Amino acid sequence: YVILKLIVNSFFQARSFSTTAVTKQLVQPPVQVFGLEGRYATALYSAAKKKNSLDAVDKDFKELSALLKTDGQLKEFLLNPLLSKDLKKQAVESVLAKKKASPLTVNLFGALAENGRLTNVEGIISAFGIIMAAVRGEVICEVTTAKPLDAAMLKELEASLKAFLKKGESLQLTQKVDPTILGGMVVSIGDKYIDMSMASKIKKYTGLLQEAV
């Protein structure tokens, strides 16, 4: 709650709110996102919702996400622990000014720089993306397998996952390959996480065997 208070106060520059008052005034997103990144994303959603700026912030985040994937120097700059917070804040604000970003986006990144949290940027962008997908009725699903799924298996999996959707929702499915899971699959859908990997089962049974010795 203390972190959440700092985030919201940074957005509205109103540092006199109590923790309880700040928590009560938050507009809750349609889907819950967890962890530090989730708290920042939730506070940003609440502020943007009140200012009718969700589309503008969403646009900013999509552009920043693409920029971080293509500009290695910028990403390295943000992650460098040796650089001062003030220097990072000035650089980030300069980048956002050139892109004519929403004031809420600028305030968020200013708060992240001041709190030494710019290393969490990608996680926050991801968490906010999950929230915005839910706003649009999209359910983000990532399926991780040891080997790529063929077309038939992918079609069958997609049909099975769609059975869990509510009326008006659409599935946004992405695939990820990770040989370390050995077999099976790991499914992340909305705010749910299901680990059906062979590696997870081996770890579980190994633990049981060790306990039995």
pLDDT for 207: 75
Instruction: Please give the mean pLDDT across all residues of the chain.
Output: 82
Give the pLDDT score at 10: 47
Per-residue model confidence (pLDDT) at position 5: 45
| Cα–Cα distance measured from residue 200 to residue 206, given in angstroms and rounded to the nearest whole number | 10
144: closest CA among 204, 100, 200? 200
pLDDT over 80 (residue 15): no
Q: Is residue 25 over pLDDT 80?
A: no
The residue ranges of every structural domain in the chain are: 2-133, 138-212
Confidence (pLDDT) at 3: 43
The reported pLDDT for the residue numbered 42 is 93
pLDDT band at 8 (very low <50, low <70, confident <90, very high): very low
Strand-pair category, 184-189 with 138-145: antiparallel
Give the full edge-to-edge strand order of the sheet including 170-177: 170-177, 138-145, 184-189, 192-197
Question: Going by DSSP bridges, is the β-strand pair 170-177/138-145 parallel, antiparallel, or unpaired?
Answer: parallel
Instruction: Give pLDDT, residue 26.
Output: 83
pLDDT of 96-124, one tens digit each? Answer: 888 899 999 999 998 898 888 888 999 99
Does residue 21 carry a pLDDT above 60? no
In the chain, where does DSSP find H-type helix? 2-12, 19-25, 35-50, 54-70, 72-79, 85-98, 103-114, 121-135, 151-162, 198-212
Q: Does domain 2-133 have CATH number 3.40.50.300?
A: no
pLDDT band at 52 (very low <50, low <70, confident <90, very high): very high
Contacts of 202 (CB under 8 A, 6+ apart): 182
- What are the tokens at 117? 């949290």
Residue 124 in contact with residue 27, Cβ under 8 Å?
Answer: no
